[in-house]
Chain A
Amino acid sequence: MSETKKTNIILFSGDYDKAMAAYIIANGAAAYDHEVTIFHTFWGLNALRKDEQVTVKKNFLEKMFGRMMPRGADKMGISKMNYAGFGPKMIKNVMKKHNAMPLPDLIDMAQEQDVNLVACTMTMDLLGLQKDELLDEIEYAGVAAYLGDAEDGNVNLFI
């Protein structure tokens, strides 16, 4: 076998379905023995949020953002037919029927397969998200780290 190939995914979207696509590709690429990295930026950071409330010091705007954004992968809405939260319930039901893995399980699986989960620190500041609010064992980086991986990446996706 040749040297390790790299897959890099930027997860910008905070939609449940789009994040699912990103994590399915990431898990597939890990099964291909690729070195896989998912960079979470903007709304995609919500996929890394812990589902419990974490007490951290925030200003008013940051608190508002924190309250309005989904707390964790399972609370994310879907990109089409969200219907004020009814859509995700329907789709999760259908997924169960077809044995598709829910997003939180896909994230666990990705961590188990040593996929590098990276949070973009600049957008964390913008959205007022702090390290304590995000999953443990993730990395923090910026655009240069992404480009460093991307320039010798074999698969690069923006979702």
Chain B
Amino acid sequence: MNVSKVLDAKGLACPMPIVKTKKAIKDVESGEVLEIHATDQGAKSDLTAWAKSGGHELLQHEEDNGVFKFWIQKG
């Protein structure tokens, strides 16, 4: 996958992962992919809902050793 930007939101608690993601998505162009790393347990539900509401697409997510990784394509 062609990732334009990686956001490290590890160790951050609610609402910071979503606040940082919102800031980071401004730096990528429509159609480009933002990769996010988070450790907040609620991140999956939060980012899924946020992406849907904002018209972005959550392409893929995975958990790797307690770190949740997300790939969001900007709408």
Contact = CB atoms under 8 A, between A and B. Distances in A.
B55 A109 contact: no
A31 B18 contact: yes
Contacts, number: 35
A11 B3 CA distance: 41
B13, B16, B53: most-surrounded residue (chain A CB, <10 A):
B16
B10 to A, nearest CB: 10
Interface residues of B, number: 15
Contacts of A27: 15, 19
A142 interface: no
Interface string A76-101: 00000000000000000000001111
A101 B22 CA distance: 17
12 contacts: A1-B55, A24-B15, A27-B19, A28-B15, A30-B19, A31-B18, A31-B21, A31-B22, A99-B12, A100-B13, A101-B13, A101-B16
Interface of A: 1, 24, 27-28, 30-33, 98-101, 109, 113
Interface of B: 11-16, 18-19, 21-22, 50, 53-55, 75
A113 B12 CA distance: 18
A101 B11 CA distance: 12
A109 B19 contact: yes
Nearest to B25: A31
Contacts of A98: 13
Given A1-B55, A100-B13, 5 more contacts: A1-B54, A28-B18, A31-B21, A32-B22, A33-B54
B19 A32 contact: no
A33 B22 contact: yes
A32 B50 contact: yes
A100 B14 CA distance: 7
Contacts of A100: 13-14
Nearest to A5: B53
A99 B13 contact: yes
B50 A31 contact: yes
